[in-house]
Structure 1
Amino acid sequence: MKISVALVEDEPYASARIKKLIKNDPTFEIVGEVTGVEEALKMLQFKKPDVVFLDIKMPDGTGFDVLSQLPSDCNPYVVFVTAYDDFALKAFEYNAIDYILKPYENSRFYKVTEKAKEFVSLRRSSVINQQISDLMKREEQPSQSEVNQIKITEKGWDVFIDYPDILLFEAHGNYCKVHLKSRFYIYKETMKKLEKELSNMEFIRIHRSYIVNLTNINAVQYIGKGEYEFELCNATKLVSGRSFASDIKEYLSIKVKT
């Protein structure tokens, strides 16, 4: 894992020391080095480093001026390196991961670099996990063709059936039969789940055993006692269940003939 680092430091000696210490760890790669606020703004937005070692007081402003002007898509982890101890509280208001006070021991600097590794690793893991999650969601979303079709596997072959070609679904144990005009297929789905999946489509459940395609109905006749006779486009006739009478009235909007 390579971690990109930028330096914003106006003192040559201080900058040289930071570079020397960073280069002792091959994980880090210095991608930019500047001495002032304006240069820092340009460099950070262009390089977008993982970590920036930032001085507080510079000739043309402060490290806080840099951070307050960075756009939201440029958010490196910040380590303040300064000789001033009265800015520590303000530094952490800018989400700094550490505040190194000059002069400092090498061991103190290396503790900071280890912390920086942990922060960058966590961020990258979070990004990767989000990318995986987004990819899985995209894969779970059906394509337009899948929305308009069902897939049935028969004898090792996948058969795709357009919903408009389906006359009805008929209960068949724990599965159902998908009836077309001249044949049927066994579909490994329950009627209960099917009814839910088809709720926003041109289908209606008329019986515990039947879900019919409204677009393939030739005629509907009320035959009494809360029952209707449906004639499909292939001349098949079905009698509805009494418990479905109100649904049939609502969805078909027919005039009841007695």
Structure 2
Amino acid sequence: MSFRALIVDDEQISRRIIHTFLRDEPAIEVVGEAANGTEAVLQILQLRPDLVFLDVQMPELDGFEVLREVWPYHQPFVVFTTAYDAYALRAFEVSATDYLLKPFDRLRFQQAVERVKKPLAQRRDAEAIPTLLPLPAAVGPPAPGFLQRLLVKEQRRLFFVKSADILYFEADRNYISVHTAVHTHLIYQSLTQLESQLAPQDFTRISRSCIVGLNHIVELETYFNGEYLVKLLNGEMLKWTRNYRANLASFHGRQ
């Protein structure tokens, strides 16, 4: 029985040390490395490793932010590796299996690996986790917890789109088109679920199938039967249906 591991650290020498130590662990297969937080998120979601050796302080996203991004989609076991002991308590609050303080030797590393093998085997024996666990509070998003970025996939590429750049979302059956000024991306999610994750001061629902970014509205024009035409900064026109007229307060409150 072998398990897939990802090494995440912005220092090449640290990645090399962990990789070298893992050569003595036939049960652990290294499937990739990442040198910053964003790359770590993409690698975790693409490779879906069983185990991640995760640094805390990194460019772009720190280790806890990485977990916050991937947790709704994939939940690997985590061994934190860092030069700072100040994060130890927070690491175990997010259910880390171990916390390796740099510089660690081969013996200490082997202890961490042995500690994670049992829960890895138990998860494998169970074949699958029925439901994703809730994100531990210690890595939860800062209040109020609304999406600042959206992870999208195009072919084999995964990348982030800032919420502030999104003009509107448009639902089509089980998919949502994410419209920015320059691109349109597809995500698989319900509009109702997405709506609950968006900041109400920045987004509001204007119809059964559309959520608009309030910052991108130029003007509203009265239409038939209590409906409105919504003109966006890029010139596009949307319809604000009367079933969602109550949400007009979101727009008027910005004036």
**TM-score, structure 1 as length reference:** 0.48
**TM-score, structure 2 as length reference:** 0.49
User: Which structure would you say has the larger Rg?
Assistant: 1
